[in-house]
Chains A and B, each alone.
Chain A
Amino acid sequence: MLASFGKRVWDGRWGYIFIAPAMIPFVIFTGYPLVQGLLLSFYKAGVNRDKWKYIGLKNYTNLLTRDPVFPTAIKNTFLFVLGVVPAAMIICLFVAVLIYPLSQRKQSFFRAAFYMPVVSAGVVLAMVWVYIYSQEYGLLNYIFESFGLLNLLNEGEKIGWLAQTDTALLSLAIVVLSWSLGQPLILFLAGLGAIPETLYDAAKIDGANSWQSFWKITLPLLRPTMLFVLVVLTIAVFQVFVVVQLMTLGGPANATQTIVFRIWVTGIVGAKFGYASAMAVILLAIVSVLAIIQFKLLDRQVT
């Protein structure tokens, strides 16, 4: 038993050699701090390291029963994911199917246009969008006013896009959405290119109309791509931070608080390292469950 295990290890020695360049830094710079962070979540830990104190599960019970903001942050994070991810997938699918038949040059234009926000850093977009959303001098209100939309929506008054609880989260979601379209679009275009023409020809012979072949051929064959996009987007949107930090600071009235932003406010700004670590562990638990589900799906479909 032991001998056979030893033999398998020996046989796999080249595997270990090849993963070493990745695993060694991984253990030092990710694994070790991660475990430390986990331990920290059982401590009351502030800026004075001499005063760090083990308090068991108190951080967790406080977080789940007494913290006034954390539940809102969880809710908002899920709203972000549930809003941005399906919207991005539907838009990209729609656009991909439409521009796929276009000439190479036209397709390049659209691809580049949709990819532009991905290319610019989140910081850059957040800075521009704050300016655009501004109630007093923003471009968006000007455009709305020019088209008579302000009269229609807000009795002609300029709208405080980031100032109102009912528009703030949506406004941030649109910024996040704007940089979530580029990669899925390219993926869908490639997915479309991978569907053999013969399938459509065969369907035609069988008397299917083009609408039917979209539902019966295109969509099912894009499924692996869609799943991949789903996983990547969910991961990215779960970590939404820059827009909150640079655009709203979680306001107004906590309407745009997210988990990662809470971790930052509590852990870095508030210097409650233990308490913030407990938040991080809860986030880790949520993300892990989602990831396992998604990768199970993905593994079955793709690999």
Chain B
Amino acid sequence: MKHLRLLLVLAAVLVILLAPTQAQEPVTITYWTDPALAQPVSLPQFTELAAFETWQAEQFMEMHPHVTVEVRGLDWPDLSTVVPTALAAGDPPDILKDYLGRTSGYGVEGVTVDLFGLLPQEEIDDLLPGLVGLYTIDGALHAMPTYFWNHAMIVNKALFDQAGLGEMIPVDDRDWTLDEFYAAATAIKEAGIGVDFPYTLQVASEQGDYDFHAFIWGAGGEIWNPDCSTGFDDPKTLAGLEFVNKLYQEGLINSDATTAAYADQTNNLFTGKSAIMGGGMGVLNNTIGNAITNGEVTVDMDPVIVTYPHAEGEVSGLGVGPSGFAVFDKGRSDYEMEWVIEFLLFLNSTESQITYTQNNAQFPARASAGVPLADDENYALTLSLIQERGTENLGLACPGFYEVRISQPPHWQAMFLGQETPEQALQALADEAAFILDM
């Protein structure tokens, strides 16, 4: 660790010393970033959108005065609107940091450069092999993975303890069946301690879909099969869907799920209206941690991580989704490309990944980054759960992923509101997916 830092400082000094002797041609790099690190825990000075990324860019510019980096922070809605429009106009950024579900779409369209030929082999070898596989589209590395988040279930055990139901939460093996989950949810609702909706989710937009899909995976169903066909016709998918629908119809899920925003979901948890929600380390450490600091939590809070419930004989893996840096194809000169890659490697260095994942409570994509939050028992637990139970297939790199994703919420809404049966919803989705993939 120390050696690396020393090396970096030495390198920086060398560059500064050399800089005046070889006046380099100026390069401008545009870098657009997602808002994932807008509210880190231990870097409170970076609460604004892209503040951290701007700080990184400033460091790079100090080392290389001839390089100008223009940083732009995009919030989630902008990422799906501004980037495609910019691409259509032929004016994308040089580097985009976004999650795989969206960059894969750009990879499929062929507007990103193949990083296999551009990154040094030792850099690629340092990335987790599973991630490199996910990021390889048509034989090309369409983006360079930087970290991944996880998705599991977060239970506020304090409320269960308060109702004398603490035993119902599987704190030993973090594993439960759909029936056990159902029993616990019903019991806490009936306990009369103000838990109106034991499990909180939202199907108003696609943003909350893992909280929903996880039950389908738990039942053994799939949204995406490994061959990138959709799993809407799988009977186990139907079984999972019927289970979620039962939860909603029996009042075990918040009744405003069809329009709720993410803030409504977290608010339900913070005020004790709900006791369980989906989320990973980021939610646990940052969202809940910040809310406690800001005084938004009005009940006792003892969040524990468990995997989603599963049907007998099935194993519930974790939802895992990576984010990465895509470099768009803009017809650069070799010289410009050289500096874009240089900046990319700076952004995605082992050091940067450690800082980033520590503060975002995520998992680095480089093997050399090790386990950044080794002291955090939930972090270690999550890693062991991933190793033990594997990950679910989110289909992030499948063609049409994003469109199929946004076609789902209306049908989940219709099902909750009693306008479609689970069978009808799945049939409609299968038809729509066929239409989307056909177009």
Contacts and interface: CB of A to CB of B under 8 A. Distances in A.
Contact of A275 (B84, B410, B439): B439
A132 to B, nearest CB: 13
B414 A253 contact: yes
Contact of B419 (A249, A253, A269): A253
A49 interface: yes
A252 interface: yes
Indicate the size class of the contact surface on chain A.
35 or more
B259 A251 contact: yes
27 contacts: A47-B87, A47-B106, A48-B110, A48-B111, A49-B90, A68-B432, A134-B264, A135-B256, A136-B254, A157-B255, A160-B259, A163-B255, A163-B260, A168-B259, A248-B259, A249-B204, A249-B205, A251-B409, A252-B258, A252-B413, A252-B417, A269-B80, A269-B81, A270-B84, A270-B402, A271-B84, A271-B105
Question: Which of B90, B258, B403 neighbours the largest number of chain A CB atoms within 10 Å of its CB?
Answer: B258
A160 B88 contact: no
A166 to B, nearest CB: 9
Interface residues of B, number: 42
A68 to B, nearest CB: 5
Contact of B255 (A48, A135, A254): A135
Contacts of B439: 44, 62, 272, 275
B431 A68 contact: yes
Interface in A52-69: 62, 66-69
A46 B403 CA distance: 13
A47 B435 CA distance: 19
A250 B419 CA distance: 16
Nearest to B197: A136
B411 interface: yes
Contacts of B84: 47, 268-271
B204 A164 contact: no
B256 A163 contact: yes
A233 interface: no
Nearest to A264: B81
B408 to A, nearest CB: 11
Contact of A270 (B258, B403, B435): B403
Nearest to B412: A253
Given A136-B264, A136-B267, A160-B258, 7 more contacts: A46-B88, A47-B105, A135-B259, A252-B417, A253-B410, A253-B413, A269-B81
